[in-house]
Amino acid sequence: MRYNYMFERNLIKIGGHHFTVDYVDGLADSGSTDTALNKILINKNLVQSNQESTILHEILEAINSIYDLNLPHQTIQTLEAALYQIYKDNF
């Protein structure tokens, strides 16, 4: 597994819940989130920057689910792009 500099460990807390972040081979998409199992899966074959933006996307998906926000997928994608740009340009 490649070390991801964006997150120091593979466990993050979202809405009071601990989610594991696993990097896997053969994932059909860039990433996926299972709020029933508190798991985020990231395609480990993506380049580092795509892994990082995908983690942000999946965090937003978890927030959307946990808080019943019913955000459209396009809104989640826009927030991902905006937040990732802020992160990369400032931290």
| Each residue's pLDDT tens digit, 38-77 | 999 999 999 999 999 999 999 999 999 999 999 999 999 9
Q: Which of 4-8, 33-37, 53-57 has the lowest mean pLDDT?
A: 4-8
Assess whether pLDDT exceeds 50 at residue 1.
no
Q: Decide the pairing of beta strands 31-34 and 11-14.
A: unpaired
7 pLDDT band (50/70/90 cuts)? low
Confidence (pLDDT) at 6 = 57
Spatial separation of the C-alpha atoms in residues 62 and 40, rounded to whole Å: 9
For the question of whether the overall pTM of this predicted structure is more than 0.75, the answer is yes
With beta carbons less than 8 A apart as the criterion, state whether 42 and 52 touch: no
| Pairwise CA distance, residues 25 & 9, whole Å | 19
Dist CA 77 CA 1 (whole Å): 26
